Structure 1
Amino acid sequence: MMEISPEQARTLAAILTYGSFDAAAAHLSVTPSAISQRVRALEAAVGRPVLTRARPPGLTESGEAVVRFARQLDLLAADLIEELQPEQPRGGTRLTLVINSDSLHTWALAGLAPASDNVQLEILREDQEHSLDLLRAGTAAAAITATAKPVPGCSSSKLGIMRYFPVCAPDFTRRWFGTGVSAATLAAAPVVVFDRKDDLQDRWLRRFSRAALQPPRHYVPAAQEFGDAIRWGMGWGMMPEIEIGEDLATGRLETLSPNADVDVTLYWQQWRRGSAALTDVADAVRAAARVLR
């Protein structure tokens, strides 16, 4: 029977967190030799490597599972301390979440605020298509993601749909789409893109034109500033329906084409072996997600 000690698991997590055997040894107040011995014993127990020998060290698939185990042990230990010492103030549990920028900007914080009295949150901003890498590696306990299939060791539940529309300022429409929105005008008109992982604009372009267009691009990697760039006429871009209602009503923004939406289904993925704190946060996020479609 495979036996992995908490000490070995936490040692591997420390190597990942601090970037080297020496740094992990300093954090754990042991020698680098002791760190090496624990890793060798862990790999012997697992029967395969848990680290890639690189600078900084990376995790194999088996190593990712062990680090998730270590993080879950820490959550369970925090739950136990709160149960054994109910008179002590709550809020010592730390949770790392991965949330895409648009959700963070529009609805997710409203859900997390009620849970923040009882947990310390570290929120990592990552595109919904790429957030699972952090969850898989054990860096985060939960993620808002566009992927329904759960990563190993995690559960997945649907939150709702974020609907995006291609919008621009009226003056931008007059400058670039005076002859109408077509493949030719879209190929020439500048587009605002969040970052190089953001494919929403290209997704809509392919749907509209049936061709791979390459218009001029402005990259603006912050949710508020992304919207402001579009409002100021730097380009057109895909913005969430729940953010632009007032802009459309007042005429500050207009859509490029009727019924031109792109839907992104969001899911909440979290460790299956959770904790009371993680359950509270998950419940709060699901409640806030009711604003989605």
Structure 2
Amino acid sequence: MQNIFMNLEHVRAFAAAVDEGTVEGAGFVLGITASAASQRIRALESRLGQVLIRRTNPITVTEAGTAVLRYARQVELLESEAMDRLHGIAADAPEGALRDPGVRREPTVLRIGVNADSLATWFRPVFAEVADWDDVVIRLDVVDQDKAVPLLTSGEVLGTITSAEVSGYGTQVRHLGSMRYLAVATRELLAKFGFDPESPTPAEVDLATLPMVNFGRDDDLQLNFLARRGIATVPPMSVVPSSAEFAAAVAAGVGWGMIPVMQLEGIDADLVPITADPAVDVPLYWHHWTLASDKLARLTEALGRAAEHMR
């Protein structure tokens, strides 16, 4: 089979177009014309004999483009670290050696997938650590923990937090812990459906009719809670796609919802369990590329430390 080598400038143009959503945006961030960016992408497609992007607005990636995007992200990370090491070597070189200590290195972009509830709770100490890393910036994609793996396999992120235990090809997985959710509602809401607000113990209510709050189309937590109790119909449902606002909606009595225990502690509202067994434990795993990357390893350790406080 003939070896096919990809021009890295062409690969960068392709990745930039995916990031920015347009060829024009790619040209802007690369400091070239849109025409030059388009020519580089078409040259890469011609070289590979595959269409890599669909020229929609925004741009979407084909199956072949997914493989190239993952390659582009890995090259970007490893090249950045190699340049960091070379810069360090040059800075320590004897006087008169070829070096330019005044050159400012651009920080490495670490793209991460994270679910909204983690971002609102145990993940936050990671920001304090990243603030001390002058060689790194992070970009987060917020995605439900059940739907996060495709971000990694497509190359959109270098690592993602997910409830899936099994890792894919070329990736590693680390168990972070479990987030405990409780199905809760206000006493006022439950009183409308026959619940005694003064009762010290939770009572089963008619979950088929009790209003519910859902996070969004990818959130199956509430629906799975109902399904395990034999309820196939969807009750009156409000959608609030933000972790803090979701909890605020439940606290206001809009409907019942699954709220992380860590988040419940900060809510000033009289919330009570809606069933005798309201708890659901969601395991979380950190999936990341298998790369000899110091920065990726540093991020992995920071996540592990932050996750020690998960409950």
Q: Are residues 1:144 and 2:146 paired? A: no
Change over 3 Å in CA distance of 1:237–1:71 after alignment to 2: same
The residue correspondences of 1:93-172 to structure 2 (distance < 5 A) are: 93-118=108-133, 119-172=136-189
Match of 2:65?
63
- The sequence identity of aligned pairs, in percent, is 34
Change over 3 Å in CA distance of 1:150–1:245 after alignment to 2: same
Deviations 1:144-193 (A, max 9, x none): 112233345432222222222211122222222428524xx222221111
- 1:256 maps to which of 260, 274, 289: 274
Matched to 2:189, the amino acid is F
Q: Are residues 1:211 and 2:231 paired? A: yes
Deviations 1:248-288 (A, max 9, x none): xx983221122332232211112223622221111110122
Q: Are residues 1:229 and 2:249 paired? A: yes
- 1:124 deviates by 2.3
- 1:112 deviates by 3.9
Match of 1:271?
289
8 Å CA contact 2:172–2:287 kept in 1: the answer is yes
Deviates more, 1:120-129 or 1:89-98: 89-98
Change over 3 Å in CA distance of 1:20–1:222 after alignment to 2: closer
TM-score (norm 1): 0.85
Match of 2:98?
none
Match of 1:52?
54
User: Structure 2: how far apart are the matches of 1:139 and 1:48?
Assistant: 19
Q: Are residues 1:289 and 2:304 paired? A: no
8 Å CA contact 1:100–1:125 kept in 2: the answer is yes
User: Structure 1: how far apart are the matches of 2:254 and 2:158?
Assistant: 37
Larger of the two Rg values belongs to structure: 2
- 2:191 maps to which of 174, 188, 191: 174
Q: Which has the higher helix share?
A: 1
User: Structure 2: how far apart are the matches of 1:226 and 1:123?
Assistant: 20
User: Structure 2: how far apart are the matches of 1:284 and 1:68?
Assistant: 23
Match of 1:200?
221
- 1:80 maps to which of 79, 82, 86: 82
Deviates more, 1:134-143 or 1:8-17: 134-143
User: Structure 2: how far apart are the matches of 1:27 and 1:71?
Assistant: 16
Change over 3 Å in CA distance of 1:222–1:170 after alignment to 2: same
8 Å CA contact 2:186–2:250 kept in 1: the answer is yes
The residue correspondences of 1:15-54 to structure 2 (distance < 5 A) are: 15-32=17-34, 34-54=36-56
User: Structure 2: how far apart are the matches of 1:21 and 1:193?
Assistant: 36
Match of 1:188?
209
Matched to 1:123, the amino acid is L
User: Structure 2: how far apart are the matches of 1:178 and 1:252?
Assistant: 14
> Where do 4+ consecutive residues of structure 1 move more than 6 Å?
87-91
Deviates more, 1:157-166 or 1:197-206: 157-166
TM-score (norm 2): 0.81
User: Structure 2: how far apart are the matches of 1:21 and 1:115?
Assistant: 31
